[in-house]
Amino acid sequence: MPSPKLNLIVFCFGTLRRDALTTDLCRTPHFDAFAERAVVYDNAWGEGLPTVPFRRAVHTGMRSYPWRHHVGDRGSHPNILGWHAIPEHHTTLAEYLYQRGYATGLVTDVWHLFKATMNFVRGFVSWDFVRGQEGDTYTLAREALEEPSPYGGRRLGPAAYLYQTRDRRNDEDYFVARVLDRAAEWVEGMRGASPYFLWVDSFTPHEFWDPPTRFADAYRSGEGLQDHIVPQSLNRGSNRPEPDPRDIERTRALYRGYVTFADERFGRFMDRLERIGALRDTVVAVLSDHGTELWDQGQFGKSGARMHPYNTHINWMVRHPDVDRRHDAEALVQNQDVVPTLLQLLSVPHPPLDGVVVWPWAPERAPERDHVVVGWDVYASVRDRNWNLLLNTQDPSAPKRLFSLQQDPREERDVAAEHPEVVARQVSRLEALLGAPLPARFVHTPMRGFAATPGGLREVRRQRAQAGERWEGSNLV
């Protein structure tokens, strides 16, 4: 029987593709070793995506999608459906555990969680925000607003990020290393103070794909290669030529190397826990929020219009002190199931949630799902074991695309015209969740406007310059 005094550590890695841990795409010996003594959810799918909607459901056990809650998001970035704070009437995992006497901690470099419009520190007695990741302009100077950036040598990418990392000297200075090292220090400092709950949220391997160079070189190196740490810079467009195949492979190598670097730092963390005996009474979960395209279908990056497995198939593994071998769970699960499942393992009661307990040996489990619905801005995916339907929920004229998972697991050939009955069934499943027929009408209405970011500031300046205004340095004259 699970003990109410078990500790809990949850890892979330941003943009970590499912197949990065299950195929030879990336070398991940430490994640692999973790999986050998864990329950591995092979059929785990994102629910509401991307970053913030995912975390809202994974922190509360309540669905983010459909976008039923209107929460003020002035100045938020990006301004898309579902990108807002946790609704006031939802309770977080940290709050449930704090109320049961757990010491709660958060260590993360995900700057979206700390924006002025967000409230993801609810329930955490302590939080450690590692500054400077992605667009977090922890320090700001003229150079951080310039394009192109004078920083980074042969690296190509936004100036603000490169300015934040200008003093980086070794592996320990990288964001994922700093997050996991500080998390390990937190656990070491909590020895003897059980029970505790620690949420470790690393943005890596999200863009910018910027690992220590040797990790990328292990996958693809060569003279004259450029490091496109913003992979979308290679995507085809009206002003962009067809990319050089060498650049494509090098950019894939940047991602693969970043995953392997994250794996190495995760291994260091687990070794530290093993040395101090922390794993004997601790449940450890590993998650990812979504994936990204690595030129699988001719481009890099992610979007709701491409909710294929490389974007929506997520990682979820749970190591329990009583589990001594790998157990593959095949049920269709989503991230709203994380909270009720972990609370079950800790014997912590909770009210009914949208998510359900999916622990294989739980005495009471809900019937297995026959499909999942994934939402991303105006787009939705309705997936079961045989089909995946992709559609724009607000544009009736947009084509619906259907893929046969048995005949086309890479989801490259649209067969909607051949199977109208399947399209109709998947649409009806979506409409049942929406509670109304398509086109969808959502409660959340993103507030449009510029976000408080260097990119937003550059856009304000551009528009004012077009209106005849002139800037010198940082001054409007």
Measure Cα distances from 212 to 154, 265, 315 in Å.
13, 12, 24
**So what's the pLDDT on residue 1?**
43
Q: If DSSP codes are grouped into helix, strand and coil, which group holds residue 61?
A: coil
Question: How far is the C-alpha of 323 from the C-alpha of 321, rounded, in Å?
Answer: 6
Q: What percent of the chain has pLDDT over 70?
A: 90
Can you tell me the mean pLDDT for 244-260? Answer: 97
* Dist CA 291 CA 23 (whole Å): 14
Question: How far from 48 is each of 45, 55, 81, 114, 325, CA to CA, in Å?
Answer: 10, 9, 10, 19, 31
Lowest mean pLDDT: which of 117-121, 347-351, 461-465? 461-465
Please, which pLDDT band fits residue 452 given cuts at 50, 70 and 90? Answer: low
What whole-number distance in Å separates Cα of residue 443 and Cα of residue 87? 13
Residue 128 has pLDDT above 80, yes or no: yes
Give the pLDDT band of residue 453 (cuts 50, 70, 90): low
In this predicted structure, what is the pLDDT of residue 420?
98
pLDDT tens, position by position, 191-207: 888 899 999 999 999 99
Q: For each of the domains in the chain, give its residue range(s) and CATH number, in order of start.
A: 7-371 (3.40.720.10), 378-434 (3.30.1120.10)
Q: How confident is the model at residue 140 (pLDDT cuts 50, 70, 90)?
A: confident
pLDDT of 92 > 70? The answer is yes
Q: What pLDDT is recorded for position 153? A: 41
Strands 44-45 and 48-49: unpaired
- What's the confidence (pLDDT) of residue 137? 87
pLDDT at 159 over 60: yes
Per-residue pLDDT reduced to its tens digit, 366-395: 788 999 999 999 999 999 999 999 999 999
Please give the Cα distance from 358 to 344 (Å, whole number).
Answer: 9
Residue 230 sits at the vertex; the CA angle it makes with 227 and 236, to the nearest 5 degrees, is 100
The whole-angstrom separation of Cα 263 and Cα 381 is: 30
Is the bond leading into 243 cis (omega within 30 degrees of zero)? Answer: no
SS3 at position 278: helix
Question: Which residues does residue 380 pair with via DSSP β-bridges, in sequence order?
Answer: 375, 391
